[in-house]
Amino acid sequence: MDALIGLRRARLAPAWVSQAGAAADPLSIAKIDVFPVRDPGSGRSWVVLRLEARNGLKGFGETERITPAELAQARKILIGQPATRYEFLGQALGGMPRVRAAAEMALLDLMGKQAKAPVYQILAGPTRNKVRLLSALNSYSGLNAFTVSLPERSFPNPRAQFVKSVVAKLEKLRAESGELVDFVLDCRGQLTPAEAANVSAALEKFHPLWIDEPCPLSNTEAVRKITRENVTPIGWGREVADAGVFQDLLREQAIDVLRPNLALHGPVSVRKLAALAETYYTAVAPWHNCGPIATLAGLQLAASLPNFFLLEIPPPSPMYAEMLGGYWPTIKDGFAALPTAPGLGAQVDEGSLSKFKGAA
Protein backbone atom coordinates (compact mmCIF):
# COMPACT_ATOMS: atom_id res chain seq x y z
CA MET A 1 0.00 0.00 0.00
CA ASP A 2 2.82 2.42 0.90
CA ALA A 3 4.50 1.74 -2.43
CA LEU A 4 1.24 2.48 -4.29
CA ILE A 5 0.86 5.74 -2.39
CA GLY A 6 4.44 6.61 -3.31
CA LEU A 7 3.71 5.90 -6.98
CA ARG A 8 0.72 8.25 -6.92
CA ARG A 9 2.91 10.97 -5.38
CA ALA A 10 5.50 10.55 -8.11
CA ARG A 11 2.85 10.84 -10.81
CA LEU A 12 1.36 13.98 -9.30
CA ALA A 13 4.24 16.37 -10.02
CA PRO A 14 4.07 19.82 -8.42
CA ALA A 15 2.57 22.65 -10.43
CA TRP A 16 5.97 24.24 -11.03
CA VAL A 17 7.30 21.30 -13.08
CA SER A 18 5.43 19.35 -15.74
CA GLN A 19 6.14 15.71 -16.47
CA ALA A 20 7.35 16.70 -19.94
CA GLY A 21 9.64 19.32 -18.44
CA ALA A 22 11.01 16.84 -15.92
CA ALA A 23 11.78 14.30 -18.64
CA ALA A 24 13.63 16.97 -20.66
CA ASP A 25 15.88 17.89 -17.70
CA PRO A 26 19.45 16.73 -18.44
CA LEU A 27 19.53 15.13 -14.97
CA SER A 28 16.25 13.26 -15.45
CA ILE A 29 16.61 9.55 -14.79
CA ALA A 30 16.71 7.50 -17.98
CA LYS A 31 17.79 4.09 -16.73
CA ILE A 32 18.00 2.09 -13.49
CA ASP A 33 20.03 -1.06 -12.95
CA VAL A 34 21.03 -3.14 -9.94
CA PHE A 35 24.14 -5.31 -9.51
CA PRO A 36 24.33 -7.91 -6.74
CA VAL A 37 27.95 -8.16 -5.56
CA ARG A 38 29.80 -10.39 -3.14
CA ASP A 39 33.09 -9.86 -1.34
CA PRO A 40 35.14 -12.98 -2.17
CA GLY A 41 37.08 -12.63 1.07
CA SER A 42 34.38 -12.23 3.71
CA GLY A 43 31.45 -13.66 1.75
CA ARG A 44 29.36 -10.57 2.55
CA SER A 45 26.92 -9.56 -0.19
CA TRP A 46 24.95 -6.44 -1.04
CA VAL A 47 23.45 -4.62 -4.04
CA VAL A 48 24.78 -1.70 -6.08
CA LEU A 49 22.12 0.52 -7.66
CA ARG A 50 23.04 2.59 -10.72
CA LEU A 51 21.02 5.53 -12.00
CA GLU A 52 21.82 6.89 -15.45
CA ALA A 53 20.69 10.41 -16.31
CA ARG A 54 19.60 11.65 -19.72
CA ASN A 55 22.91 13.51 -20.12
CA GLY A 56 24.90 10.29 -19.61
CA LEU A 57 26.05 10.90 -16.04
CA LYS A 58 25.79 7.91 -13.70
CA GLY A 59 25.14 7.89 -9.98
CA PHE A 60 25.67 4.93 -7.65
CA GLY A 61 24.30 3.78 -4.32
CA GLU A 62 24.33 0.64 -2.19
CA THR A 63 21.94 -1.22 0.03
CA GLU A 64 21.51 -4.68 1.51
CA ARG A 65 19.06 -6.10 -1.05
CA ILE A 66 16.46 -5.10 -3.64
CA THR A 67 13.78 -7.48 -4.86
CA PRO A 68 12.70 -7.65 -8.53
CA ALA A 69 9.27 -6.26 -7.56
CA GLU A 70 10.91 -3.32 -5.76
CA LEU A 71 13.12 -2.61 -8.77
CA ALA A 72 10.11 -2.59 -11.09
CA GLN A 73 8.28 -0.20 -8.77
CA ALA A 74 11.34 2.04 -8.45
CA ARG A 75 11.57 2.32 -12.23
CA LYS A 76 7.96 3.53 -12.39
CA ILE A 77 8.68 6.17 -9.75
CA LEU A 78 12.13 7.39 -10.78
CA ILE A 79 12.42 7.21 -14.56
CA GLY A 80 11.73 10.58 -16.14
CA GLN A 81 12.22 12.45 -12.86
CA PRO A 82 15.15 14.85 -12.33
CA ALA A 83 17.77 13.96 -9.73
CA THR A 84 17.34 17.39 -8.16
CA ARG A 85 13.99 16.23 -6.76
CA TYR A 86 15.72 13.78 -4.42
CA GLU A 87 13.65 14.85 -1.42
CA PHE A 88 10.34 14.32 -3.21
CA LEU A 89 11.51 11.06 -4.79
CA GLY A 90 12.72 9.78 -1.43
CA GLN A 91 9.24 10.26 -0.03
CA ALA A 92 7.74 8.48 -3.04
CA LEU A 93 10.04 5.52 -2.34
CA GLY A 94 9.19 5.52 1.36
CA GLY A 95 7.45 2.15 1.23
CA MET A 96 10.72 0.56 0.07
CA PRO A 97 13.32 1.84 2.55
CA ARG A 98 16.33 -0.03 1.16
CA VAL A 99 15.57 1.16 -2.39
CA ARG A 100 15.15 4.68 -1.04
CA ALA A 101 18.50 4.52 0.76
CA ALA A 102 20.42 3.43 -2.34
CA ALA A 103 18.50 5.87 -4.56
CA GLU A 104 19.30 8.78 -2.25
CA MET A 105 23.02 8.00 -2.56
CA ALA A 106 22.79 7.71 -6.34
CA LEU A 107 20.70 10.86 -6.79
CA LEU A 108 23.12 12.90 -4.69
CA ASP A 109 26.03 11.36 -6.61
CA LEU A 110 24.45 12.56 -9.86
CA MET A 111 23.88 16.05 -8.51
CA GLY A 112 27.44 16.33 -7.25
CA LYS A 113 28.89 15.19 -10.56
CA GLN A 114 26.69 17.66 -12.43
CA ALA A 115 27.74 20.49 -10.10
CA LYS A 116 31.38 19.29 -10.10
CA ALA A 117 31.32 19.36 -6.30
CA PRO A 118 31.44 16.82 -3.46
CA VAL A 119 28.05 15.79 -2.10
CA TYR A 120 28.71 17.46 1.27
CA GLN A 121 28.67 20.81 -0.53
CA ILE A 122 25.13 20.00 -1.69
CA LEU A 123 24.18 18.93 1.85
CA ALA A 124 24.71 22.47 3.25
CA GLY A 125 28.51 22.38 3.32
CA PRO A 126 31.13 20.68 5.52
CA THR A 127 31.19 20.96 9.31
CA ARG A 128 34.62 19.26 9.50
CA ASN A 129 37.56 18.38 7.25
CA LYS A 130 38.03 14.78 8.38
CA VAL A 131 35.85 11.95 9.69
CA ARG A 132 36.65 9.62 12.57
CA LEU A 133 36.11 5.96 11.70
CA LEU A 134 35.15 2.87 13.68
CA SER A 135 35.57 -0.73 12.56
CA ALA A 136 36.20 -4.25 13.81
CA LEU A 137 39.10 -4.81 16.16
CA ASN A 138 42.53 -4.57 14.46
CA SER A 139 40.96 -4.16 11.03
CA TYR A 140 42.29 -0.99 9.40
CA SER A 141 45.78 0.37 9.90
CA GLY A 142 45.56 3.92 11.21
CA LEU A 143 42.34 3.52 13.19
CA ASN A 144 42.15 4.08 16.94
CA ALA A 145 38.49 3.17 17.56
CA PHE A 146 37.35 -0.44 17.35
CA THR A 147 34.32 -2.59 18.03
CA VAL A 148 34.76 -5.48 20.45
CA SER A 149 32.43 -8.48 20.52
CA LEU A 150 31.14 -10.13 23.65
CA PRO A 151 33.18 -13.07 24.96
CA GLU A 152 31.86 -16.52 24.17
CA ARG A 153 29.91 -18.21 26.92
CA SER A 154 28.36 -21.56 27.62
CA PHE A 155 24.84 -21.93 28.93
CA PRO A 156 23.78 -21.86 31.65
CA ASN A 157 26.25 -19.17 32.72
CA PRO A 158 25.84 -17.21 35.98
CA ARG A 159 25.46 -13.50 35.36
CA ALA A 160 28.31 -12.53 37.70
CA GLN A 161 30.70 -14.91 35.97
CA PHE A 162 29.75 -13.57 32.54
CA VAL A 163 30.20 -9.94 33.62
CA LYS A 164 33.65 -10.83 34.97
CA SER A 165 34.58 -12.35 31.60
CA VAL A 166 33.53 -9.14 29.80
CA VAL A 167 35.62 -7.06 32.22
CA ALA A 168 38.61 -9.39 31.79
CA LYS A 169 38.42 -9.05 28.01
CA LEU A 170 38.37 -5.25 28.19
CA GLU A 171 41.21 -5.22 30.72
CA LYS A 172 43.37 -7.32 28.40
CA LEU A 173 42.59 -5.14 25.37
CA ARG A 174 43.28 -1.95 27.31
CA ALA A 175 46.63 -3.30 28.54
CA GLU A 176 47.64 -4.33 25.02
CA SER A 177 46.41 -1.22 23.20
CA GLY A 178 47.08 1.63 25.62
CA GLU A 179 44.96 4.58 26.60
CA LEU A 180 44.85 6.20 23.16
CA VAL A 181 42.63 3.49 21.66
CA ASP A 182 38.86 3.60 22.15
CA PHE A 183 36.45 0.69 22.20
CA VAL A 184 32.77 0.06 21.53
CA LEU A 185 31.33 -3.12 23.04
CA ASP A 186 29.18 -4.64 20.28
CA CYS A 187 26.48 -6.72 21.97
CA ARG A 188 24.12 -7.17 18.98
CA GLY A 189 21.11 -7.41 21.29
CA GLN A 190 22.38 -10.63 22.89
CA LEU A 191 21.98 -9.61 26.55
CA THR A 192 18.93 -9.50 28.76
CA PRO A 193 18.10 -6.08 30.25
CA ALA A 194 19.44 -7.23 33.63
CA GLU A 195 22.72 -8.43 32.10
CA ALA A 196 23.00 -5.23 30.09
CA ALA A 197 22.63 -3.14 33.25
CA ASN A 198 25.31 -5.16 35.04
CA VAL A 199 27.75 -5.00 32.12
CA SER A 200 27.16 -1.27 31.69
CA ALA A 201 27.92 -0.59 35.35
CA ALA A 202 31.02 -2.83 35.34
CA LEU A 203 32.52 -1.10 32.29
CA GLU A 204 32.29 2.46 33.59
CA LYS A 205 35.96 2.44 34.66
CA PHE A 206 37.09 1.61 31.10
CA HIS A 207 35.28 4.64 29.60
CA PRO A 208 34.18 2.86 26.40
CA LEU A 209 32.80 5.12 23.70
CA TRP A 210 29.50 3.33 24.16
CA ILE A 211 27.87 -0.10 24.49
CA ASP A 212 26.10 -0.95 21.25
CA GLU A 213 22.69 -2.65 21.12
CA PRO A 214 23.04 -4.30 24.56
CA CYS A 215 19.59 -5.93 24.47
CA PRO A 216 16.55 -6.10 22.19
CA LEU A 217 14.44 -2.95 21.89
CA SER A 218 11.24 -4.80 22.75
CA ASN A 219 10.76 -3.04 26.11
CA THR A 220 11.30 0.73 26.06
CA GLU A 221 10.97 1.04 29.83
CA ALA A 222 13.76 -1.50 30.39
CA VAL A 223 15.95 0.27 27.82
CA ARG A 224 15.37 3.62 29.48
CA LYS A 225 16.23 2.15 32.87
CA ILE A 226 19.58 0.86 31.59
CA THR A 227 20.49 4.22 30.10
CA ARG A 228 19.44 6.33 33.05
CA GLU A 229 20.98 4.22 35.80
CA ASN A 230 24.48 3.93 34.29
CA VAL A 231 27.15 6.37 33.19
CA THR A 232 28.35 4.26 30.27
CA PRO A 233 26.79 5.59 27.03
CA ILE A 234 24.39 3.31 25.16
CA GLY A 235 23.95 3.19 21.38
CA TRP A 236 20.82 1.96 19.63
CA GLY A 237 19.30 1.86 16.20
CA ARG A 238 21.20 0.00 13.53
CA GLU A 239 18.36 -2.53 13.19
CA VAL A 240 15.60 0.10 13.47
CA ALA A 241 13.64 0.73 10.28
CA ASP A 242 10.89 2.99 11.65
CA ALA A 243 11.97 6.59 12.32
CA GLY A 244 9.26 6.78 14.97
CA VAL A 245 11.23 4.33 17.13
CA PHE A 246 14.16 6.74 17.13
CA GLN A 247 11.82 9.54 18.17
CA ASP A 248 10.48 7.44 21.06
CA LEU A 249 14.01 6.59 22.25
CA LEU A 250 15.05 10.23 22.14
CA ARG A 251 11.90 11.47 23.85
CA GLU A 252 12.34 8.90 26.62
CA GLN A 253 16.04 9.84 26.94
CA ALA A 254 16.86 6.17 26.44
CA ILE A 255 19.65 6.68 23.90
CA ASP A 256 23.09 8.30 24.06
CA VAL A 257 24.34 7.54 20.53
CA LEU A 258 22.00 7.33 17.53
CA ARG A 259 23.00 4.44 15.23
CA PRO A 260 20.97 4.58 11.98
CA ASN A 261 21.75 2.05 9.27
CA LEU A 262 22.86 4.09 6.25
CA ALA A 263 21.82 1.29 3.88
CA LEU A 264 18.31 1.32 5.35
CA HIS A 265 17.68 5.05 5.78
CA GLY A 266 19.96 6.80 3.26
CA PRO A 267 21.88 10.09 3.59
CA VAL A 268 18.86 12.39 3.32
CA SER A 269 16.81 10.43 5.84
CA VAL A 270 19.75 10.14 8.27
CA ARG A 271 20.16 13.92 8.11
CA LYS A 272 16.57 14.26 9.30
CA LEU A 273 17.19 11.83 12.15
CA ALA A 274 20.36 13.72 13.07
CA ALA A 275 18.44 17.01 13.19
CA LEU A 276 15.94 15.38 15.54
CA ALA A 277 18.75 13.97 17.70
CA GLU A 278 20.46 17.35 17.86
CA THR A 279 17.53 18.79 19.81
CA TYR A 280 18.23 16.15 22.49
CA TYR A 281 22.03 16.75 22.46
CA THR A 282 22.51 13.23 21.08
CA ALA A 283 25.44 12.24 18.89
CA VAL A 284 25.03 10.33 15.62
CA ALA A 285 27.23 7.39 14.58
CA PRO A 286 25.91 5.89 11.30
CA TRP A 287 26.50 2.22 10.51
CA HIS A 288 26.35 0.10 7.39
CA ASN A 289 27.38 -3.37 6.33
CA CYS A 290 27.58 -2.88 2.57
CA GLY A 291 30.60 -1.81 0.53
CA PRO A 292 32.78 1.11 -0.57
CA ILE A 293 30.05 3.21 -2.20
CA ALA A 294 28.02 3.38 1.02
CA THR A 295 31.25 4.18 2.89
CA LEU A 296 31.81 7.18 0.60
CA ALA A 297 28.19 8.22 1.14
CA GLY A 298 28.79 7.95 4.89
CA LEU A 299 31.85 10.22 4.67
CA GLN A 300 29.89 12.81 2.70
CA LEU A 301 27.03 12.64 5.19
CA ALA A 302 29.32 12.80 8.23
CA ALA A 303 31.00 15.92 6.88
CA SER A 304 27.66 17.72 6.84
CA LEU A 305 26.33 16.75 10.32
CA PRO A 306 27.00 19.10 13.26
CA ASN A 307 26.35 16.31 15.80
CA PHE A 308 28.30 13.59 13.99
CA PHE A 309 30.41 11.31 16.23
CA LEU A 310 31.82 8.29 14.36
CA LEU A 311 31.21 6.42 11.12
CA GLU A 312 31.32 2.64 11.45
CA ILE A 313 32.49 0.88 8.29
CA PRO A 314 32.89 -2.81 7.38
CA PRO A 315 36.28 -4.54 7.67
CA PRO A 316 38.71 -3.87 4.79
CA SER A 317 38.74 -5.76 1.51
CA PRO A 318 40.93 -5.46 -1.61
CA MET A 319 37.76 -5.24 -3.70
CA TYR A 320 36.86 -1.81 -2.27
CA ALA A 321 39.61 0.15 -4.01
CA GLU A 322 39.11 -1.91 -7.16
CA MET A 323 35.41 -1.01 -7.24
CA LEU A 324 36.31 2.67 -6.80
CA GLY A 325 38.82 2.72 -9.64
CA GLY A 326 41.84 2.57 -7.34
CA TYR A 327 40.64 5.18 -4.85
CA TRP A 328 40.30 4.66 -1.11
CA PRO A 329 40.23 7.41 1.54
CA THR A 330 43.49 8.10 3.36
CA ILE A 331 43.22 6.99 7.01
CA LYS A 332 45.55 8.58 9.57
CA ASP A 333 45.36 8.90 13.36
CA GLY A 334 41.87 7.43 13.36
CA PHE A 335 40.43 9.80 10.75
CA ALA A 336 39.62 9.55 7.05
CA ALA A 337 40.23 12.52 4.81
CA LEU A 338 37.15 13.85 3.04
CA PRO A 339 36.83 12.91 -0.64
CA THR A 340 37.32 15.94 -2.87
CA ALA A 341 36.20 14.55 -6.25
CA PRO A 342 32.68 15.40 -7.51
CA GLY A 343 29.69 13.39 -6.33
CA LEU A 344 30.33 10.74 -3.72
CA GLY A 345 34.05 11.09 -4.38
CA ALA A 346 35.13 8.36 -6.83
CA GLN A 347 34.37 6.87 -10.22
CA VAL A 348 32.96 3.36 -9.88
CA ASP A 349 34.73 0.78 -12.05
CA GLU A 350 31.71 -0.82 -13.67
CA GLY A 351 33.76 -3.80 -14.80
CA SER A 352 34.27 -4.72 -11.17
CA LEU A 353 30.50 -5.05 -10.73
CA SER A 354 30.61 -8.04 -13.09
CA LYS A 355 33.83 -9.40 -11.61
CA PHE A 356 32.40 -9.45 -8.09
CA LYS A 357 28.91 -10.54 -9.13
CA GLY A 358 27.09 -12.47 -6.45
CA ALA A 359 23.67 -13.11 -4.96
CA ALA A 360 22.23 -10.61 -2.47
For the stretch 222-232, pLDDT in tens is 888 888 888 99
| Buried-state track 226-246, b at ≥16 Cβ within 10 A, e below 16 | bbeebebbbbbbbebeebeeb
The number of angstroms, rounded, from the C-alpha of 186 to the middle of its chain's C-alpha atoms is 16
For the stretch 187-196, pLDDT in tens is 999 998 889 9
Residue 136: predicted pLDDT: 94
Band the pLDDT of 3: cuts 50, 70, 90.
Answer: very low
What does the DSSP assignment read for 161-224? HHHHHHHHHHHHHHHHH-TT-EEEEE-TT-S-HHHHHHHHHHTGGG--SEEE--S-TT-HHHHH
- Give, in words, the CATH class of 2-116: alpha beta
pTM of the entire structure? 0.91
Lowest mean pLDDT among 191-205, 288-302, 319-333: 191-205
pLDDT tops 60 at residue 111: yes
pLDDT tops 70 at residue 360: no
Residue 156: predicted pLDDT: 64
Whether the Cβ atoms of residue 182 and residue 145 lie closer than 8 Å to each other? yes
Residue 298: predicted pLDDT: 97
| Residue 119 to residue 346: CA distance in whole angstroms | 11
pLDDT tops 60 at residue 20: no
pLDDT tops 80 at residue 125: yes
pLDDT tops 90 at residue 120: yes
Comparison of pLDDT for 169 and 153, the residue scoring more: 169
Domain 130-341 fold: TIM Barrel (3.20.20)
Mean pLDDT value across residues 90-102: 95
Vertex 90 angle, CA 132 and 134, to 5°: 15
Domain with CATH 3.20.20.120 in the chain: 130-341
Domain with CATH 3.30.390.10 in the chain: 2-116
For the stretch 154-184, pLDDT in tens is 766 678 889 999 999 999 999 998 888 999 9
| Residue 314 to residue 288: CA distance in whole angstroms | 7
For the stretch 133-147, pLDDT in tens is 999 998 998 999 999
Q: Distances in Å between the alpha carbon of 76 and those of 3, 80, 91?
A: 11, 9, 14
Residue 179: predicted pLDDT: 86
Band the pLDDT of 221: cuts 50, 70, 90.
Answer: confident
Residue 224: predicted pLDDT: 85
